Structure 1
Amino acid sequence: MKTFIRSTEPFDWHAIAEIAGGARLELSDDASARIGAARALVEQIVERGIRAYGVNTGVGALCDTVVSQAKQHDLSHNILMSHAVGVGPLLGPEAVRAIMAAAVNNYAHGYSGVRLAVVRQLVALLNGDCVPEVPAFGSVGYLSHMAHIALVCVGAGWARFGDTRVSGAEALRRLGLEPLSLEAKEGLSLVNGTPCVTGLAVLALARARRLLDWVDVVAAMTFENLQGQVEAFGAQSLAFRVSPGLETVGARLRGALAGSGILAVAAGRRTQDSLSLRAIPHVHGAARDVFDDVARSVDRELASVTDNPIVAGTPDHPSVYSQAHAVSASLALAMDSLGVALAQVAAMSERRIDRLVNPLVSGLPAFLAADGGTRSGFMIAQYTAASLVAQNHREAAPASLDGGVTSGLQEDHLCHATPAALKALNIVENGTRIVAIELLAAVQAYDLQPADLPRSPYTEALRTRIRSVVPIYRDDRPLADDMNRVFRMIVDDAPPPLADPERRPSRLQDEYERTS
């Protein structure tokens, strides 16, 4: 099993994604030393009575209420209990692991002031495949999700080992751990910062990357079935627009469609195709450009200290910075942007599905039914795609503009970063289901084409791969089962690789190819 070591350099989003998927995490000696040095600063702050938010004061609107040293343990413990207010369905194991890995990464910067034992407890949960139960909803920023994770560290709350649900106390017993007794600042540090949105943003990136790779090749299959004019994807034509994403998608489409007999016969039949066909590089490419920007934002977040307060300086001269680094406007905006980009890609996919099933433009049997009249084929599957597009439109409304006031006017500007990431994840899932329907419809369309029109080698290989799992559809079984099967294929597996020597990927795309 792969192991990632948090040392002098922060993790990037690729590392967090792999840890979320089951890789191990370890702390280097220097990271452990930084965590310990920051703890020494907190101990000096406590001993000298230097006023520090959440260390020896209350939190939120209670920030001016001084807490005696004797009650600082109670403050940390009570913060977990009062902040564990999540509701609704539980986050999946990958999401919880991503949040935990992002939290460990943040503590390892060496400015949080928690004891090394606290960080090691989180690492032990990760490496022991113990997943705290974390409700998805209830956060306007970052508090409730980490509070539910931290409950398990103190022997409270609930966790899962695979399908087995156990109490937090039992989870620690199984791992050979003792419940933590929190000290000054640790309760606040465990719920503060931006690990929630950062971890969820990493998961959204990983799933979006897979979706963007699939939607290119699925769109190529639809384009071929509809006998598009392939010169729209020519390198010379696309070069007039400056966009690394467009260049990448154009090259991928040319690679996927190279050698197509269908397109060779169709050349010159029309002046231009509909926008859902000829603008594939422009829309998919724009989404890839947004993806690269978001990936850079997430990596910057992982390189940032997001505690409040931050402790720095030396034991002789400790400094406390109680500002607003736990507010992640950058990731709220980034997740809103990613959601909108993917919603547009998915909407275009649904338009292509509609063209495949519409005999007025496809030239194929109505609704791709093998026997019209008694069979509806993909008629209602297109309804499902349209429904998911509409749901994405609602989800794509920007969470970063929701605003609100909490904590007695102390927190009177809210960015809703974590909800923005949750919405982006929903849009990715809906988009993946739409693309799965397009893939099924495109393969069905191939089966209804004249036998003497050869497909490109790439699309034929992909068609064969799908048909090895899902036979031609004859209204002889619930179509939802086929849709779910192909959805899981897209989620779990990359599409067949495209060998294209003319592609010049961006740095992030090149890194993806190296690490995938």
Structure 2
Amino acid sequence: MAVIRSNRPLDWAQVAAVAAGEPLELSADARARIAAARVLVEQIVERGIRAYGVNTGVGALCDVIVSPGEQRTLSRNILMSHAVGVGAPLGVAETRAIMAAAVNNFAHGHSGIRLEVADQLVALLNADCLPEVPAFGSVGYLSHMAHIALVCIGEGYVRFRGERLKGRDALQRIGLEPLVLEAKEGLSMVNGTPCVTGLAALALARAERLLDWTDMVASMSFENLRGQLAAFDEASLALRISPGLNKVGERMRAALADSGILAAVVGHRTQDPLSMRTIPHVHGAARDVLAATAEVVDRELASITDNPIVAGTPEDPRVYSQAHAVGASIALAMDSLATAIAQVAAMAERRLDRLVNPLVSGLPAFLAEPGGTCSGFMIAQYTAASLVAQNRRLALPASLDGGITSGLQEDHLCHATPAALKALEIIDNGGRIVAIELLAATQAYDLQSIDAPRAPHTEALWQRVRRVVPAYRDDRPLADDMSIAFRMIADEAPPPLPNPGNIGPRPVTSAGGAALTPPATLTRLAAAGHVRAAASGAVNDGQAAAHMA
């Protein structure tokens, strides 16, 4: 399927679909808007209207006038001087997400690039000929897009079919020529918030999947630890006003329906520990943050984030050289999402600790073979504790880091892109913590002393894990099993729950009206005309899940 940038901006789910490998297309009206904005820049140049980065320098050099004969040089030099990223390159999905968000921004029709520039980016994206973009070195948005833009002019490096190529050689491989940038194009290609919006879309997709898995893994731990189902009572949870909380309660009731283990322990305790009975409250709060963050990211994708913005008509061109490229709102949203996922993962580690602790679990110590020669999951819990601590450090708000750049001209910084990068790292760490809990909960079922059946859904989860990971007996490095479980959580959707219509109210949806699952997201996009089906017209659940990997 192709994601089409039409008269409507892309939303976060579409950007995530492109990041996962879907091609991107510009509709005729999007192309017309890009071309019309270029006419405005040409008029600004012809009339000598002062415009930041068009006929002036940039940053603290904004009052230095650049002559028409120097404007091509300015555009090229902006890319050269702004390509200052350091560290390991971003991954494929991250790079694709940023490029998709950049094309989306140009398609608003207020950037002023030529259509050839947008087409060059789309061609690179669709050929999977991806610029090498160092991950670090940006306080806002400049360096990442500069490294992407370098390839359009034949500079920089790309990864193409397993090879690292120079930009010029890569363009030749896919039948393109290096561009010579005109007035404003250099600045337009590094400006705006595509870096953070692209990365944020990816973070949303990964966080959504992780939360789905965390609910299900928590249900396994809850059953193994013989919790009291009253924690998920529908009438009780409805007293708290939170769409996320009530959605999680519904999911837990569905996952644990018909559990013989839990039926055997009804009323044995007045209440369970907080890491068990607050699953709806903590997971639900994270889902509420996810929905709020999705709204912010969609607003950002619908916004013009250039500096300067060109507007008006060819007869009366306007230039707004202000601050729309500052990503304060999305920086705050990314910090919030990162904290929410860190808290969910921290509680997963607490449930894991209960599973391996014989003083509270009623299970063999550390889920190990008896006799003292086996450590079982003892040290795996250390790994989870370490990742929780790492997440705590990462969750410090990037949006408050501040700093001063460009000779006091840029004396307030929001660090939006770094906020998104650390959110992605926290989500990955969270996935690893939940993967360890998944393995431990699966092992706990093998050691249960209660002779009663598991819930049908947790049985399906147990079988899914056991198809790829046998019971652990200290007979192999546990790290390998942890890696398999992490890839399962990162790359696949959990088994579908029983029909929600049979267990309670309708599923809570995101702000856009879509159930917070990857297949439903794609269904929404198709219904809205944003995603064109492949020739067969068929998309199964496995394919849909892959789009949000």
Shift in Å at residue 451 of structure 1? 6.3
Which residue is 1:344 aligned to? 343
In structure 2, which of residues 497, 504, 507 is the aligned counterpart of residue 505 of structure 1?
A: 507
Secondary structure (helix, strand or coil) at the match of 2:486 reads: helix
CA contact (8 A) 1:366 1:372 kept: no
Which residue is 1:270 aligned to? 269
CA contact (8 A) 1:245 1:287 kept: yes
Which residue is 2:165 aligned to? 166
Secondary structure (helix, strand or coil) at the match of 1:507 reads: coil
What runs of 5+ residues in structure 2 fail to find an aligned partner?
A: 523-543, 545-549
Distance between the aligned counterparts of 2:50 and 2:508, measured in 1? 48
Amino acid at match of 1:259: D
Distance between the aligned counterparts of 1:280 and 1:451, measured in 2? 23
Shift in Å at residue 503 of structure 1? 3.9
Secondary structure (helix, strand or coil) at the match of 1:165 reads: strand
Which residue is 1:144 aligned to? 143
1:66-105 aligned within 5 A: 66-105=65-104
Amino acid at match of 1:218: V
Which residue is 1:476 aligned to? 475
Shift in Å at residue 249 of structure 1? 0.3
Instruction: Summarize deviations over 1:412-459 as a string: whole Å, max 9, x none.
Output: 000000000001000000000000000000000000012622100110
Distance between the aligned counterparts of 1:238 and 1:141, measured in 2? 41
Which residue is 2:252 aligned to? 253
CA contact (8 A) 1:223 1:277 kept: yes
Secondary structure (helix, strand or coil) at the match of 2:311 reads: strand
CA contact (8 A) 2:6 2:28 kept: yes
CA contact (8 A) 1:244 1:505 kept: no
Which residue is 1:238 aligned to? 237
CA contact (8 A) 1:222 1:352 kept: yes
Moved more, 132-141 or 23-32: 23-32
Which residue is 2:313 aligned to? 314
Secondary structure (helix, strand or coil) at the match of 2:159 reads: strand
Distance between the aligned counterparts of 1:495 and 1:348, measured in 2? 20
Distance between the aligned counterparts of 1:482 and 1:379, measured in 2? 15
Distance between the aligned counterparts of 1:356 and 1:488, measured in 2? 22
Distance between the aligned counterparts of 1:349 and 1:454, measured in 2? 24
What runs of 5+ residues in structure 1 fail to find an aligned partner?
A: none
Which residue is 1:32 aligned to? 31
Amino acid at match of 2:507: P
Secondary structure (helix, strand or coil) at the match of 2:270 reads: coil
Amino acid at match of 1:313: G
1:62 paired to 2:61: yes
Distance between the aligned counterparts of 1:512 and 1:439, measured in 2? 21
Distance between the aligned counterparts of 1:144 and 1:200, measured in 2? 14
Shift in Å at residue 343 of structure 1? 0.2
Distance between the aligned counterparts of 1:226 and 1:412, measured in 2? 53
Shift in Å at residue 372 of structure 1? 3.9
Which residue is 1:413 aligned to? 412
Moved more, 385-394 or 368-377: 368-377
Which residue is 1:217 aligned to? 216
Instruction: Summarize deviations over 1:349-401 as a string: whole Å, max 9, x none.
Output: 00000000000000000000022401000000000000000000000000000
Instruction: Summarize deviations over 1:244-266 as a string: whole Å, max 9, x none.
Output: 00010000000000000100011
CA contact (8 A) 1:356 1:442 kept: yes
CA contact (8 A) 1:365 1:372 kept: no
Shift in Å at residue 507 of structure 1? 3.3
Secondary structure (helix, strand or coil) at the match of 2:414 reads: coil
Secondary structure (helix, strand or coil) at the match of 1:267 reads: coil
Instruction: Summarize deviations over 1:8-46 as a string: whole Å, max 9, x none.
Output: 000111110101111111111111111011000000100
Shift in Å at residue 506 of structure 1? 3.2
1:67-466 aligned within 5 A: 67-450=66-449, 452-466=451-465
CA contact (8 A) 2:152 2:179 kept: yes
Distance between the aligned counterparts of 1:173 and 1:495, measured in 2? 43
Distance between the aligned counterparts of 1:274 and 1:512, measured in 2? 28
CA contact (8 A) 1:84 1:148 kept: yes
Shift in Å at residue 141 of structure 1? 0.2
Distance between the aligned counterparts of 1:371 and 1:505, measured in 2? 44
Moved more, 367-376 or 194-203: 367-376
CA contact (8 A) 1:39 1:114 kept: yes
4+ aligned runs moved over 4 Å, structure 1: none
CA contact (8 A) 2:255 2:458 kept: yes
Give RMSD over aligned pairs. Answer: 0.9
Q: Aligned pairs, how many?
A: 515
Secondary structure (helix, strand or coil) at the match of 1:242 reads: coil
CA contact (8 A) 2:34 2:110 kept: yes
CA contact (8 A) 1:343 1:431 kept: yes
Shift in Å at residue 511 of structure 1? 4.3
TM-score by length of 1: 0.99
Instruction: Summarize deviations over 1:154-182 as a string: whole Å, max 9, x none.
Output: 00000011321111011100110000000
Instruction: Summarize deviations over 1:123-165 as a string: whole Å, max 9, x none.
Output: 0001111110000000000000000000000000000113211
CA contact (8 A) 2:507 2:515 kept: no
Distance between the aligned counterparts of 2:107 and 2:179, measured in 1? 19
Distance between the aligned counterparts of 1:169 and 1:238, measured in 2? 60
Amino acid at match of 1:473: Y
Moved more, 236-245 or 502-511: 502-511
Aligned in 2, Cα 1:357/1:435: closer, same or farther, shift over 3 Å? Answer: same
TM-score by length of 2: 0.93
Distance between the aligned counterparts of 1:506 and 1:197, measured in 2? 27
CA contact (8 A) 1:194 1:306 kept: yes
Distance between the aligned counterparts of 1:228 and 1:510, measured in 2? 31
Secondary structure (helix, strand or coil) at the match of 1:320 reads: strand
Secondary structure (helix, strand or coil) at the match of 2:223 reads: helix
Which residue is 2:541 aligned to? none
Distance between the aligned counterparts of 1:369 and 1:425, measured in 2? 33
Shift in Å at residue 5 of structure 1? 1.4
Instruction: Summarize deviations over 1:48-72 as a string: whole Å, max 9, x none.
Output: 1110000000000000000000000
Which residue is 2:536 aligned to? none
Distance between the aligned counterparts of 2:516 and 2:252, measured in 1? 19
Distance between the aligned counterparts of 2:323 and 2:369, measured in 1? 61
Amino acid at match of 2:418: P
Q: Percent identity among equivalent residues? A: 72
Amino acid at match of 1:437: I
